[in-house]
Amino acid sequence: MNKNYSALTLNELPKRLSSITAITDQIGTDFSKWQVTEVGDGNLNLVFIVIGSNGKIVIKQALPYVRVVGDSWPLTLDRAFFEYNALVRQEERDPGIAPSVFYFDREQGLIAMECLDSHKILRGKLIAGEKVSNLGEVIGKHCARLAFKGSDFYMQTKDKKNDVSLFQKNLELMSITENLVFTDPYYEAEMNNHTEGLDTIVKTLRDDVVMKSKVQYMLLKFTSNTETMCHGDLHSGSIMCTETDTKVIDPEFAFYGPMGFDLGMNIANYLMAFLSQPAHRKNSNDNKSFQGWILKVIEETVNAFFEEFTNLWHNSRQGILFPKCLYEDQDQTTDYALNLVLKHILNDAMSVCGIEMHRRCLSLAHNADFEQIEDVTLRAKLEARNLLLGRELILSSDSIKEISDLTSLALKFNERNIL
């Protein structure tokens, strides 16, 4: 860690940041009146909202350790550098989707950005039964834009390779994903925990050599297939919404990897919201209606992804992959090629989806969707559905040909009495 680094405190923050013009331009120079609150509820960083006479700003600062575990798990400040770089690329590749960045200080692991205080974390909204219009369309398009514009379909080969090599150094956060997401759920790793009552299901998963091998095969793609820059952690805690507006935050886990990664992680979190609803909506009509809405969001997300990817394929394919000289210039169709690519993306997305559904119930960092269910028997019952649906998706990722195949499967598992 840099010797000049020091974590911000509520008291010291105003004085320490008062000379940074990029910040005072946003909120005003009279730092004696700044109101500071710490609002970080994530697993890794400090997050402050600072309100000045002219406006508000968010200050996010990396800590030299994993916040949720403490200083027994050291982590460098580098993640702020990768988050900053990913935010810049998100803005380039899908303008307006991420908070605006006003200032970055690598030594302090600090990013000053737009305060989205009229937005709420999507996970909380899904638990509370609050709908967001256009959610599927915005996130589906975003995933497609990120996937396409960070790939060799679009980037110049030199830029792509340089960018891959930059993000390959985000090794600490990639290593967290390699362990917590792909490996820990499937053995008795130290930081694991699961709800009482799930032992037989957990044993089924850990005994399933075919499924575990498919997960490791997906990990091989995670470590080796640098297809595009992924957000890397697109769960519903990384999406903030009002009723009508959606933003994507927190791309510190960004890496170059499979084009289906973000889509799969996003859908997994919707499926967990879907399967946990019976505990949050006691009125069965309300439950049914909100569950139906979540499934609609999943369908809209995937449809928007396919539509936008297809649009970019036809209008912006300018990289080394599937070049026009091999197709259009010879008056030949790219239908077969595009279909092949989309199938590959959906297949990877379904595998990642199943894996994410497992790790959020078995490894460190569970989802509030399930964790907030106080009735442990009910929680175990709903998590069991989630774990077995995840297994099905990993084992049969290639049998999901259309998104309705997935939503039908979700409805089926939602009815199953496993425990």
Placement of tokens 């990993």 in the chain:
394
Give the number of residues in contact with ligand SR1, rule: CB under 6 A: 10
Interface with ligand SR1 by CB under 6 A: which range of 176-184, 254-262, 276-284, 368-376?
176-184
- Nearer of residues 83 and 227 to Mg ion, judged by Cβ: 83
Q: What x-and-dash track marks residues 235-254 binding Mg ion by CB under 5 A?
A: ---------------x----
Least distance from Mg ion to the Cβ atom of residue 388, Å:
27
**Whole-number Å distance between alpha carbons of 121 and 123:** 6
Q: What x-and-dash track marks residues 357-376 binding ligand SR1 by CB under 6 A?
A: -------xx-----------
Q: CA triplet 40, 190, 264: central angle to 5 degrees?
A: 60
Report the relative pairing of strands 239-241 and 246-248 from DSSP bridges: antiparallel
**For residue 100, what are its two tokens?**
């605006």
**For residue 373, what are its two tokens?**
């269910």
Rule CB under 6 A: choose which of 43, 183, 242, 310 binds ligand SR1: 43
Least distance from ligand SR1 to the Cβ atom of residue 7, Å:
18
Q: Residue 114: CB partners within 8 Å, gap ≥ 6? A: 57, 58, 99, 100, 101, 102
**For residue 309, what are its two tokens?**
């990817």
Judged by CB under 6 A, the chain residues 70 through 89 that form the site for ligand SR1 are none
Helix, coil or strand: residue 134: coil
DSSP secondary structure code for residue 187 in this structure: T
DSSP secondary structure code for residue 179 in this structure: I
**For residue 415, what are its two tokens?**
């009815």
**For residue 247, what are its two tokens?**
């933003």
DSSP for 264-310 reads HHHHHHHHHHHHHHHHH--SHHHHHHHHHHHHHHHHHHHHHHHHHHH
233 touches ligand SR1 by CB under 6 A: yes
- Nearer of residues 79 and 125 to ligand SR1, judged by Cβ: 79
Q: Report the residue closest to Mg ion, judged by CB.
A: 250
Least distance from ligand SR1 to the Cβ atom of residue 109, Å:
16
Q: Tell me which of ligand SR1, Mg ion, none is bound by residue 174, counting a contact when its beta carbon lies within the kind-specific cut-off of 5 to 8 angstroms.
A: none
**Whole-number Å distance between alpha carbons of 294 and 143:** 18
Judged by CB under 5 A, the chain residues 23 through 52 that form the site for Mg ion are 42
66 touches ligand SR1 by CB under 6 A: yes
Partnered with residue 48 across adjacent β-strands are 38, 59
Q: Tell me which of Mg ion, ligand SR1, none is bound by residue 62, counting a contact when its beta carbon lies within the kind-specific cut-off of 5 to 8 angstroms.
A: none
Rule CB under 6 A: choose which of 17, 180, 240, 368 binds ligand SR1: 180
Helix, coil or strand: residue 159: helix
Q: Tell me which of Mg ion, ligand SR1, none is bound by residue 365, counting a contact when its beta carbon lies within the kind-specific cut-off of 5 to 8 angstroms.
A: ligand SR1
Give the residues lining the site for ligand SR1 (CB under 6 A). 43-44, 66, 68, 176-177, 180, 233, 364-365
Give the residues lining the site for Mg ion (CB under 5 A). 42, 250
